[in-house]
Amino acid sequence: MDKQSEPLGVRVISSTSPDYQEALHLVLGVKQPTRGCAPASPVASLLANVERGKVGIDLLLGAYRDGELVAVCLGIESPGSAALVLVKGDRAGAEEHRATVTLLQAIQPLAWERSIALLEALVPPDRPTLGPALQEAGFNRLTRLVYLDWKPTGDDPKLSPDFTSESRADNRDLTWISYDSDRELLFEEAIERTYVQSLDCPELTGLRPISDVLIGHRAAGIFDPALWSLAMRDGVPAGVILLNRIPSTRALELVYMGVAPEARGHGVGDALLRRGLGSAVAVGAKVVALAVDERNAPARRLYDRWGFTETSAQEAWIVSPFQA
């Protein structure tokens, strides 16, 4: 039998394994330092987040041939029953594809045993062969995510208190509520309402309870309740915008924004973005970053009007035990 046709051995790599550091460096795509040196900075940052309880990395799998580690798959678990999947090998061609598929198949039952409801993988433009491997392993292509940045200029008239527009006049009856723990259910209601007929990754709807979705949003970056707002109309949520601080930077991430169906097309999105970007300027943020489903044409037009610029794009793939 040809050596490359022999079955690959797959096993979980624990933190006590002699391969632990090698596996983490391989899957994050960084060179492992010489023995006795500190881990490379991406690995050190990941381990620091594990230490702080921000993420979990118990789903670390290695593919072995003749006792040699040839590929690694890591599920980075975050609060909210979801995990981001990374996979990397040190082989090329058919060998890399086979190891990748094997690991992606192996991680799924282990994730479901841990009550993870959603595995997501992102495919950058420089790894086109990863998509076919994900598909063969049972993942489904979700969409192309477009990453956008907005930088305050200091003279944006739309952020001025004196700025008037037809959409702003239509929304003078909106009232604003910031997040606190007593309003958790209200924020959950708002997110659930905005999911109805959403154009932003609608395939995710129903895969996780809304309470888990909110937990996941809160865990993305550094949570600041002052940066989470509801737009209310007649005592009912019309829209929601959630921004978190990005660690070690003067940047914010717009982790979620949505408008309830009955409020769409009436400038509520404009009002939400004005509120969020105004808050970003107030806290001294230099950048606001977000990811948007490329199919969500209304949102992309809104971000374009506000001066967001595209910085990159990745293909998003998902798998869940609750997918139809």
Tell me, what CATH number does 62's domain have? 3.40.630.30
- Residues 261 and 151 grouped into a single domain: yes
- For residue 180, tell me if it sits in a domain: yes
Are 36 and 92 members of one domain?
Answer: yes
Q: 195 and 120, same structural domain?
A: no
Are 63 and 154 in a shared domain?
no
Q: In a 3-state reduction of DSSP, which class is residue 208?
A: coil
Looking at the structure, do residues 105 and 161 belong to the same domain, yes or no? no
- Give a yes or no: residue 7 inside a domain: yes
For the four alpha carbons of 121, 273, 236 and 262, in that order, the dihedral sign comes to negative
State whether 130 and 24 are in the same domain: yes
**CB atoms closer than 10 angstroms to residue 319:** 21
Question: How many other C-beta atoms lie within 10 A of the C-beta of residue 195?
Answer: 19
What confidence score (pLDDT) does residue 1 get? 44
| Dihedral, CA of residue 179, residue 47, residue 210 and residue 318, to nearest 10 | 140
Tell me how far apart the alpha carbons of residues 89 and 8 are, in angstroms, rounded to a whole number. 13
Is residue 42 included in any domain, yes or no? Answer: yes
CA 292 – CA 145 distance, rounded (Å): 6
Give me the number of domains the chain comprises.
2
**In terms of domains, do 57 and 76 share one?**
yes
pLDDT of residue 5: 58
Q: Is residue 151 part of a domain?
A: yes
Boundary residue ending a domain (115, 138, 161): 138
Q: Residue 323: its pLDDT value, please?
A: 83
Task: Please check whether residues 131 and 163 belong to one and the same domain.
Answer: no
Q: Is residue 261 part of a domain?
A: yes
Decide: 130 and 87 in contact? Cβ < 8 Å: yes
- Give the C-alpha separation, 65 to 313, whole Å: 34
| Partner residues linked to 73 by β-bridges | 61, 87
* Structure confidence at residue 132 (pLDDT): 96
Residue 168 CB neighbours (<10 A): 15
Among 108, 138, 168, the domain-final residue is: 138
Is 322 inside a domain boundary? no
Residues 83 and 121 in one domain: yes
Instruction: Order the strands of the 309-319 sheet from edge to edge.
Output: 9-12, 56-65, 68-78, 82-89, 118-123, 309-319, 140-150, 287-293, 251-259, 236-246, 228-233, 175-178
Question: How far, in Å, CA of 230 to CA of 186, rounded?
Answer: 9
**Structural domain ending residue among the three candidates 80, 108, 138:** 138
Residues 182 and 304 in one domain: yes
pLDDT in tens, the chain (324 residues): 445 556 789 999 999 999 999 999 999 999 999 877 889 999 999 999 999 999 999 999 999 998 999 999 999 999 999 999 999 987 777 888 999 999 999 999 999 999 999 999 999 999 999 999 999 999 999 999 999 999 998 777 678 665 555 555 467 889 999 999 999 999 999 999 999 999 999 999 999 999 999 999 999 999 999 999 999 999 999 999 999 999 889 999 999 999 999 999 999 999 999 999 999 999 999 999 999 999 999 999 999 999 999 999 999 999 999 986
> 72, 107 in Cβ contact below 8 A?
no
Q: Are 244 and 223 in contact (CB under 8 A)?
A: yes
Concatenated DSSP letters for 77-139? EETTTEEEEEEEES--HHHHHHHHHHHHHHHHHHHHHTT--EEEEEE-TT-TTHHHHHHHTT-
Tell me the whole-structure pTM to 2 decimals. Answer: 0.92
pLDDT given at position 37: 85
The sign of the dihedral angle between the CA atoms of 236, 228, 196, 271 is positive
Q: How far, in Å, CA of 202 to CA of 191, rounded?
A: 13
53: left (phi over 0), alpha (psi -120 to 50) or beta: left
100 and 235 together in one domain: no
Q: Is residue 320 part of a domain?
A: no
Residue 159, pLDDT score: 80
Terminal CA-CA length for the chain: 39
Collect all residues with Cβ–Cβ distance below 8 Å to 117 and sequence separation of at least 6: 81, 82, 207, 208, 212, 320, 321, 322
Q: 287 and 160, same structural domain?
A: yes
Distance of CA 53 to the CA centre of its chain: 18
Instruction: Print the domain residue range for 37.
Output: 3-138
In a 3-state reduction of DSSP, which class is residue 144?
Answer: strand
Is 30 contained in some domain? yes
